[in-house]
Amino acid sequence: MATLKREDFLNAPAPKRETVSVPGLGGEVHVRQVTAGERDEFEVSISKLKPRERTRDIRARIVVFVAVDEEGRPLFTAEDVPLLSGLPASALEPIMNAHVRLNSMSAEDVDALAKN
């Protein structure tokens, strides 16, 4: 395996996007790979919540964070969290699964984020 150089990091490809089927809603959505800085910001935003609020709506918050349109623009804002939380869990699950794949965040990471 080759040793990476600074240039390898600077010339890394842009974050990926994956089109995900959401059968529960009868369509598809784009899920984006986040940058390290964006993930840090997201984790800090969750950690600022009161302990009981951290687990509330965590899946909806993640969907707001990673669901984008064809041009990569966010589909949702924080104001959409209650709406998304009211959807069947099966509608959010494919988006969550894509988020886990693209962003190397396991279910345990999500739970730990909510608890810490």
Q: What is the pLDDT of residue 69?
A: 95
The percent of residues in the chain predicted with pLDDT above 90, rounded, is: 73
Q: Cβ atoms within 10 A of the Cβ of 108, count?
A: 8
| φ/ψ of residue 8, rounded to 5 | -65, -40
* Model confidence pLDDT, tens digit, residues 17-37: 999 999 999 999 999 999 999
Q: What is the pLDDT of residue 30?
A: 98
Say which CATH topology domain 16-115 has. rbstp2171 (3.30.2220)
Confidence of residue 9 (pLDDT cuts 50, 70, 90): very high
pTM for the full predicted model:
0.82
Secondary structure of residue 104 in the 3-state scheme: coil
Q: What is the pLDDT of residue 52?
A: 83
Q: What is the pLDDT of residue 60?
A: 95
For 65, the enclosing helix (H) or strand (E) is helix 58-66
Where do the domains of the chain lie? Answer: 16-115
